[in-house]
Amino acid sequence: MKVTMAKRSNPAVRIAQETAHNAVFDADGKPKPGVHNMILKAVEIQRPLVLAYIRRLQKKHPRATAAQLADFAERDYLRAVAGGGALVGATAVVPGVGTVASLGLSAAATVGFLEATALYATSLAELHGIRLTNPEKAGTMVMAIMLGEEGTALLGTLSGQAAGGAKPADVWGNMLSRSSIPGFGSVRKRIQQAFLKNLLKRQGTALFGRALPFGIGAVVGGAGNLVMGRAVAANAREAFGPMPDTIPGELSAAPAPDKQALTP
């Protein structure tokens, strides 16, 4: 006769989850204002940083097409977000770094994930010829990309989904490149609300996972970020569509290759 023993819950896991929840949410279960501000600031990125990153890719791969550069950017992105999650999770086993302390690092990892996402999504936009000189508009696009179909549909309302056979990304991309956009504030607010709701729901599990003691967080954190990163990459590819045949705009004048990068 086989006896099945009930699994006993680990009180340390429960304490870690409760402490993480209290660090992010108020008594009513709503995200604290500081959490909102931290998240929204993390997705805004300055265009010079994006151009510098693409230039580095071009130096390493001087003959790469726009599609190949996009593949390299995706590879870098997935490595960054998966590695960041695992790195922070590993701190829970370091003597002197307790569960409460690791929660601060989990919040930092969340910001790192969003910053990496912003760099990746905005780099794809540049490779499609979309120039986002305003960080707030760039951040709005990043949030929309992370939301997927819901977010890009909201972006489409900025232009009324103009007809003429143009790709959706071209339509809202051109709109975001303008200095003044009628109705932008209202659409941005709707995207923000949906984004925060979805991110805190998804990232919450990974946040708790990275705070788990005894090294469990290293596995949960890296795997959770990789899943989310792959979802973001899929959303971005679908939103932007096929890469252009040629590298657009100022990026077309590729810099000289980095000799050190090309050395076997």
For residue range 115-154, list pLDDT tens digits in order.
999 999 999 999 998 888 889 999 999 999 998 888 888 8
Interval 176-201 mean pLDDT: 83
Supply the pLDDT for residue 20: 58
Q: Note whether residue 137 is domain-resident.
A: yes
Is 25 in a helix, a strand, or coil? strand
Q: Note whether residue 98 is domain-resident.
A: yes
Q: Note whether residue 135 is domain-resident.
A: yes
Q: Note whether residue 203 is domain-resident.
A: yes
The secondary structure of 59-74, three-state, reads HHCCCCCHHHHHHHHH
User: Cβ(244)–Cβ(129) under 8 Å?
Assistant: yes
Residue with tokens 């960080």: 135
Split into its structural domains, the chain has a count of: 1
| pTM for this entry | 0.79
Q: Note whether residue 251 is domain-resident.
A: no
Range of the domain at 166: 33-245
Q: Note whether residue 263 is domain-resident.
A: no
Q: 6 or 167, which is more confident?
A: 167
Q: 171 or 1, which is more confident?
A: 171
Residue 39's pLDDT band (cuts 50, 70, 90):
confident
Supply the pLDDT for residue 34: 74
Question: What letter does residue 29 receive in the DSSP assignment?
Answer: S
**203, two tokens:** 């990232």
Q: With 70 as the cut, is the pLDDT of residue 166 above it? A: no
Q: Note whether residue 4 is domain-resident.
A: no
Residue 48's pLDDT band (cuts 50, 70, 90):
very high
Residue 225's pLDDT band (cuts 50, 70, 90):
confident
Supply the pLDDT for residue 208: 64
> Which of 54, 119, 117, 123 lies closest to 81 in space, CA to CA?
117
Interval 38-56 mean pLDDT: 91
Q: With 70 as the cut, is the pLDDT of residue 5 above it? A: no
Q: 204 or 84, which is more confident?
A: 84
Count Cβ atoms below 10 Å from residue 127 Cβ, excluding itself.
24
Supply the pLDDT for residue 123: 95
Question: What letter does residue 92 receive in the DSSP assignment?
Answer: G
Q: 71 or 221, which is more confident?
A: 71
> Which of 77, 159, 166 lies closest to 124 in space, CA to CA?
77
Q: Note whether residue 143 is domain-resident.
A: yes
Range of 8-12, 70-74, 200-204, 243-247 with top mean pLDDT = 70-74
Backbone angles phi, psi at 114, to 5 degrees: -70, -40
